[in-house]
Amino acid sequence: MKSDSKNKILVPVDFQEQSMVALEHTLNLFRLFDAEIVILFVVEQSGSLLNFVRPHDDYQEIREKALEKLENIKAESTKVSNATISVMVTKGKVYRSILETADEIGARLIVMGTNGTSGITKKFIGSNTLAVIKESKIPVITVKGLEQKISYRNIVLPLDLTKETKEKVAYAIQFARYFKSKIHIVSVLNVNIKEKESLIYQKMMEAKTKIIAEKIDCTTELVKDETGDIARIVIEYAARLKAGLIMIMTQQELDITEYFIGSHALEIIRESDIPVMSIVPSGKSLTTLDVLFDP
């Protein structure tokens, strides 16, 4: 059953440092909005538990320990943020529990830490994060790295020739309105397919026209490349701009397509130290007024 609250942001945590950085990132960026931040801990069904829990503890005892930790985090967070915060503990497969909880509470956004190094953190925020991104019906922001630029003043919007571009532009416009951002459109053209240059350029100009019509600053850049390393190009471009967010459109299976989506999206999610917003195409007609948060 969905909550009556309009705007909720779900932040899954495993009490490791990276997930706490993602929570801090969320608190800093969204505390000015009429949104409730829901902090979630999932007790894994497999019995592979985190280091503060003894393997022989039963679920109820684990749940109580987790709730105590979450309540402490909530208390500390409310001291430095005006955000409304609630906490939850669920049991099951991590990624499935995250998705089910997001649906149950009517979340508009999921924010997760991602690291990809080793140990429990890799297990929790590696395969689980990718599974959440693949199946989520709502946008997912992944936060990698312990030092975060708490600003979305510059948003990088990689565009390709897929039909879902309009949907991604709509999300970018709404985010730019909230955060008074400048949107930087970038497209990467393989030098071996020059016949696509005019089509990509047209797509970029259409997006720019729509963004400027909403009175949002926008730049465009077409990068010609022969390496095929689109993810690296996008990440380096975002780093030069000191961007606070990269927005990408993913696919349900994160598979490889001819241009940008798929393996390139996966690489950006894994390698970018700049937060990445992943959006699965909904196929719906979206406006800039009803994409993410209700006013």
Per residue in 45-65, pLDDT tens? 654 444 444 554 577 888 899
Residue 283: the pLDDT is: 59
Same fold flag, 8-143 and 154-279: yes
Whether the Cβ atoms of residue 107 and residue 38 lie closer than 8 Å to each other: yes
Per residue in 170-228, pLDDT tens? 889 988 988 899 999 999 887 777 767 888 888 899 999 999 999 999 999 999 888 88
Give the whole-angstrom CA distance, residue 8 versus residue 103. Answer: 11
Q: For the domain bounded by 154-279, which CATH number is listed?
A: 3.40.50.620
Of 229 and 149, more confident? 229
What ranges do the domains of the chain cover? 8-143, 154-279
Q: Is the pLDDT of residue 285 over 60?
A: no
Fold of the CATH domain 8-143: Rossmann fold (3.40.50)
Sheet holding 8-12, edge to edge: 84-92, 36-44, 8-12, 109-113, 140-143, 276-279, 245-249, 154-158, 182-190, 218-225
pTM for the structure as a whole: 0.84
Residue 227: the pLDDT is: 83
Residue 258: the pLDDT is: 36
Residue 37: the pLDDT is: 92
Per residue in 83-142, pLDDT tens? 789 999 999 889 999 999 999 999 999 999 886 544 334 444 467 888 898 889 899 999
**Position 70 confidence tier, pLDDT thresholds 50, 70, 90:** very high
Q: Is the pLDDT of residue 160 over 70?
A: yes
